[in-house]
Structure 1
Amino acid sequence: MTDLFAGTAPYYAKYRSDHGDQAIEHLARTFGPDGTVLDLGCGPGTVAIPLAPAVREILAVDPDEEMLETGRGLAAEVRNIRWLRGDSTRLRELPAFGHIVMGRSFHWMDRRAVLADLDELLPPGGVVALLGPGREPQEEPWEATMRRVREEFDANTFTATGSFQVSGEHPHDVLVTTPFSDLESAMYEHRLTYDVDAVIGLQLSYSYSSPARLGDRLEPFKEAARKALLDLDPSGTWEHTEVTEVLIARRPTG
């Protein structure tokens, strides 16, 4: 996992979209002000940092030290986040937590095994929260163009492709077969504007087109991407509506 995202942390922090205020507010209401929350696969704190003021404490856990260092830098004044190196196979080594949130990191895991562990580790009333684009995400207006550039540089595929449902199973379908089968879903939209630098930076935040994977092809890749984007739209500006699904999973009661 660490090698997959080598060199992506600054691009991830700057160019990956957040989940929007409404999604974070939904999490805050769910966890409550006394909640201790594990953000598993936290990256540079995309969820942990905006959520921190609304909860007691966040354990921000990621296998990539560069991601953790970036998060620490972004949240230097935030006192209730603990940045810890770890992954889904080492949950039992972590301090106690009352709830867990995962974003796209969930698709990298042995998901049913993780949920079985969480059934043992989460207290009664503990919540599993997932953030992602939902069942039918809308393709970004530049994606077909960038896909061709990535293919040109052999940087377009990996074991997981950035989808929220790499295995073919949507998280809904996984969760209903686990102890956390009581599901609540909400969808939130927020409109974002991207320029050429943002679209290129987004490519460099992905595992399959990371700076480490591109190596000495990085600068030619950036040049080819810039040319292709400006050929697509000389204005170099695109608007895109990001949709975030907040999926809350609980153990059934009664």
Structure 2
Amino acid sequence: MNPYMVPSMDDLFGGAAPYYARYRPRHAGAAIERLATAFGPDATVLDLGCGPGTIAIPLARHVREVLAVDPDAGMLAEGERLAADVPNIRWIKGDSTALRALPPFGHVVMGRSFHWMDRRAVLADLDELLPPGGVVALAGPSRHDDSEEPWEPAMRRLREEFGVNTLTASDSYQATGEHHDDVLVTSPFRDLEVTCFTERLTYGVEEIVGLQLSYSYSTPARLGDRLAAFTEAARRELLALNPSGTWRLRTVTEVLLARRPVTEPPPRSPARTTPRS
């Protein structure tokens, strides 16, 4: 693949699935429980842009069924492998443009996938498809935690050196300046509730190198035959930055629950709760 070409959604994460599953931070257990409480034990939940099941697999233990949908066959295969003992997940190849082709669902959750979609079009479709009381949930890094990982400047320079610069979705915050909750408060799902969950995680050199290979802009498919050179260079850069090879970071996961308002009050800012450690 030409490293300067922006891949299609079908191969956006080419070769990244095992790295995504192993090295992307897991959502805090309390965050999954918050989602489960909002959906209820009898729910069928659509995990849209499920990747390798980062949310779908732990959530499935709390609900009736999860429809795990992703355009990347590698992500689905990795998720199915990891969830061999979880019977109530259906792995489906699809994307946000074909929601009407999916089996019925009562709620939808999206992890780090919503920014790749035409957000307003997806919310309009969900307004037609979700039953009364249906929840649109987002789970991911908090928009109010703008801190950059201490290794990111070095890794960004390395990506630029290898010609695999950051990919930006056309409707993302980076492209439009509109955060997800800015979009949601002008949608049918304008009643917002946000809870934040704080964890402290430890990263080593191999975890950080693995993270790079899980990102859309530096997947194994984009690096091609330069993969080994990239990973070796990344290790050198990281150890030069921190010879101990260990970083301990505070991370904040935000769970945003969006519902249709019972009445029609003016749009309001999301209610926020104190981050939990």
Task: Report TM bin, short chain.
Answer: over 0.9
1:59-117 Cα offsets, whole Å, 9 max, x none, are 00000010000000000010100000000000000000000000111000000000000
Q: Which letter does structure 2 place at the counterpart of 1:52?
A: A
Does structure 2 conserve the Cα–Cα contact (< 8 Å) formed by 1:141 and 1:240? no
Q: 1:11 aligns with which of 6, 12, 19?
A: 19
Q: Does 1:195 align with 2:196?
A: no
1:1-254 pair list within 5 angstroms: 1-137=9-145, 138-160=147-169, 167-254=176-263
1:113-144 Cα offsets, whole Å, 9 max, x none, are 00000000000000000012122332112111
Does structure 2 conserve the Cα–Cα contact (< 8 Å) formed by 1:40 and 1:101? yes
Does structure 2 conserve the Cα–Cα contact (< 8 Å) formed by 1:41 and 1:87? yes
Whole-Å separation in 2 of the counterparts to 1:131 and 1:165: 18
Whole-Å separation in 2 of the counterparts to 1:202 and 1:164: 21
Whole-Å separation in 2 of the counterparts to 1:105 and 1:83: 16
Whole-Å separation in 1 of the counterparts to 2:249 and 2:15: 26
Deviation of the 1:187 alpha carbon: 0.7
1:125-169 Cα offsets, whole Å, 9 max, x none, are 0000001212233211211111111111111221339x8765321
Whole-Å separation in 1 of the counterparts to 2:168 and 2:62: 35
Q: Which runs of 5+ in 2 are unaligned?
A: 1-8, 264-277
Q: Which runs of 5+ in 1 are unaligned?
A: none
TM-score (norm 1): 0.97
Whole-Å separation in 2 of the counterparts to 1:175 and 1:160: 18
Whole-Å separation in 1 of the counterparts to 2:205 and 2:164: 19
Task: Classify the secondary structure of the residue corresponding to 2:153.
Answer: helix
Whole-Å separation in 2 of the counterparts to 1:17 and 1:129: 19
Q: Which letter does structure 2 place at the counterpart of 1:210?
A: T
Does structure 2 conserve the Cα–Cα contact (< 8 Å) formed by 1:132 and 1:164? no
Does structure 2 conserve the Cα–Cα contact (< 8 Å) formed by 1:165 and 1:171? no
Whole-Å separation in 1 of the counterparts to 2:220 and 2:177: 28
Whole-Å separation in 2 of the counterparts to 1:253 and 1:239: 43
Q: Which letter does structure 1 place at the counterpart of 2:210?
A: G
1:195-223 Cα offsets, whole Å, 9 max, x none, are 11100000000010111111111111111
Deviation of the 1:3 alpha carbon: 1.3
Q: Which letter does structure 1 place at the counterpart of 2:183?
A: V
Number of aligned residue pairs: give it: 253
Does structure 2 conserve the Cα–Cα contact (< 8 Å) formed by 1:62 and 1:84? yes
Whole-Å separation in 1 of the counterparts to 2:83 and 2:66: 12
Task: Classify the secondary structure of the residue corresponding to 2:195.
Answer: strand
Q: CA RMSD in A?
A: 1.3
Structure 1 residues 80 and 164 mapped into 2: Cα distance closer, same or farther (>3 Å)?
farther
The percentage of counterpart residues that share the same residue type is 70
Whole-Å separation in 2 of the counterparts to 1:40 and 1:133: 17
TM-score (norm 2): 0.89
Does structure 2 conserve the Cα–Cα contact (< 8 Å) formed by 1:130 and 1:246? yes
